[in-house]
Amino acid sequence: MRYARLAGPEWIEIEDREDPSPRPGQVVVEIDTCGIGGSDREAYRTGASGSGAWFGHEWTGRVVAVGRGVVDRFEGQRVVAGVSPPCGVCPPCRSNRTAYCRSTLEQTVGLDPLAADHGGFATHAVADGRRLVPVAEAIDIRSAALIEPAAVAVHAVRRSGLAIGDVVVVVGAGTVGLLTAEIARIAGAAHVVSIDTAVARRELACDLGSDAAFAAVDDSVRSWLDVHTGGLGADIVFVCVDTVEAISSGIGLVGSGGSIVAVGVGDRIDNLSITSLLVREADFRVSLGYSADDIGRVQALMRQDRLRVRPLIQTPDVRGLADLAAAFAADQDRRPGPPKVLVRPNG
C-alpha cells in the first residue's frame, strides 16, 4: 500500500508499506475517494495535524478485510468514515449527554485506539469497524466523499436552533459554508445570505439556493438585512472561516436575541470582543464535528436529491498520490470553480 504523510510545512512524502491486516475490531478499507478539506490545507501549511488519521479524514471506499469481533461489516461493502453511536459508559453518556460521548469525539479527530497512523490519502486504511457507516447504493461514490463535511454542516444547523422563517447569514462559501447554506434552507430558513471573497463561490452559493451573496460584510449586506428583516438583523449567523476578523464581522450582523455559530474554528479567537452580543443578549455558540445521527440525516437528504453536493466538486479528480502535493500547493481561494478537490489514491 501507499500513503501520504506530512513531513513538515508544505512537505508531503509518499510512503510504501505492506498492505494492512485488521486487528480485532478493525476493518481494512480500500480507499476510493478522499476530499481535501480546509483543515487538511491548514495542516499542509503548518506541517502539523491533530493526528495522523486526521490528515485526509473525508474518505470513502470499500471493505476488503474484517477483523475478529467485527459485526455488520463485510467485504465489498461501501462505507464512509464516520463515528460510532455513543458508547453508553463514559461520564457524558452516563449523564445522558450522549452528544458528547468521549469515544465518539476521539473517533472524530482520529485519536481512538483502532485508528490508523495516516488518513485517507492512501490506497488502504484501517479503522474501528464501529465507526464505519454503510453508504446507500443510491449515492454515487464521488458524492459519498462529501458525506462527512455535510454532516459537519448538519450538526452546525442543529446546534444553532434554527426555526422556520429565520433569516440566516453564512460567512464563508467554502465546502462547509456552501453546505451549511443549503441545509439552512432545507431546515426552513426564509432567507439565506452567503458572504465570500471569491466571485465563483458567490455565484455557486446563489445557484444552490442563497438569496444573495456579497464579497464582504459591509454596508450592502447591512442594507439587504434591513430591507428583509425590518432592521432587526439576522436571526442566525454561521461563521465558516477560521479567523477572528470573520467572527467579529459576523457578530455585527446578529439581531437581538439571535445567535452566531462558529463552525469548526481553531484556537485563534483569544481577542474576540463580545460586547455587542451582550448588549443584544445574543448567543455565541460553537459547533465541532458531527454525530452518527448527523451522518444518517445527510444520507437521507442525498437519497431524496434534496441536498446537492455534486456542484461543489471540482473536475477532474486528482488521480493517484503523485500529484497530491501539487493539489495542496495550488491556491484554491484564487481558482475559479467549485471548492472541493477529490483525490483518488488508487488512480
265-269-271 Cα angle (round to 5): 170
Q: pLDDT grade, residue 267 (50/70/90)?
A: low
Average pLDDT over the chain reads 93
Q: pLDDT grade, residue 76 (50/70/90)?
A: very high
- The pTM of the full predicted model, rounded to 2 decimals, is 0.95
For the chain, the three-class secondary structure string (H helix, E strand, C coil) is CEEEEEEECCEEEEEECCCCCCCCCEEEEEEEEEEECHHHHHHHHHCCCCCHHHCCCEEEEEEEEECCCCCCCCCCCEEEECCCCCCCCCHHHHCCCHHHCHHHHHHHCCCCCCCCCCCCCECEEEEEHHHEEECCCCCCHHHHCCHHHHHHHHHHHHHHCCCCCCEEEEECCCHHHHHHHHHHHHCCCCEEEEECCCHHHHHHHHHCCCCEEECCCCHHHHHHHHHHHCCCCEEEEEECCCCHHHHHHHHCCEEEEEEEEEECCCCCCCCCCCHHHHHHCCEEEEECCCCHHHHHHHHHHHHCCCCCCHHHECCCCEECCCCHHHHHHCCHHHCCCCCEEEEECCC
What distance in Å separates the CA atoms of residue 347 and residue 188, rounded to the nearest whole number? 40
Mean pLDDT of 235-250: 91
Give per-residue pLDDT as tens, 147-176.
Answer: 999 999 999 999 999 999 999 999 999 999
Give per-residue pLDDT as tens, 8-36.
Answer: 999 999 999 999 999 999 999 999 999 99
Give per-residue pLDDT as tens, 177-231.
Answer: 999 999 999 999 999 999 999 999 999 999 999 999 999 999 999 999 999 999 9
Mean pLDDT of 256-275: 79
First and final CA of the chain: distance in angstroms? 13
Q: pLDDT grade, residue 336 (50/70/90)?
A: low
Is residue 266's pLDDT more than 90? no
Q: What is the pLDDT of residue 189?
A: 98
Residues 6+ apart with CB under 8 A from 97: none
Give per-residue pLDDT as tens, 292-308.
Answer: 999 999 999 999 999 99
In terms of pLDDT, which residue wins out, 66 or 48?
66
One-letter amino acid for residue 51 of the chain: S
Q: Kindly give the pairing relationship between strand 191-195 and strand 167-171.
A: parallel
Is residue 337's pLDDT more than 60? yes
292 near 84, Cβ under 8 Å?
A: yes
Grid coordinates given for 294: 448527523
Residue with cell 442563497: 210
Q: What is the pLDDT of residue 99?
A: 87
Is residue 77's pLDDT more than 60? yes
The rounded radius of gyration (Å) of the Cα atoms in the chain is 20
**Mind listing the domains of the chain with CATH numbers?**
2-145+313-344 (3.90.180.10), 153-287 (3.40.50.720)
Centre a 10 Å sphere on the Cβ of residue 95 and count the other Cβ atoms it contains: 9
Q: What is the pLDDT of residue 275?
A: 81
Weakest-pLDDT range from 103-117, 163-177, 258-272: 258-272
What distance in Å separates the CA atoms of residue 294 and residue 304, rounded to the nearest whole number? 16
One-letter amino acid for residue 277 of the chain: L
What distance in Å separates the CA atoms of residue 339 and residue 336, rounded to the nearest whole number? 8
In terms of pLDDT, which residue wins out, 336 or 256?
256
Is residue 334's pLDDT more than 60? no
Q: What is the pLDDT of residue 332?
A: 56
Residues 6+ apart with CB under 8 A from 101: 86, 87, 90, 92, 93
What distance in Å separates the CA atoms of residue 150 and residue 170, rounded to the nearest whole number? 15
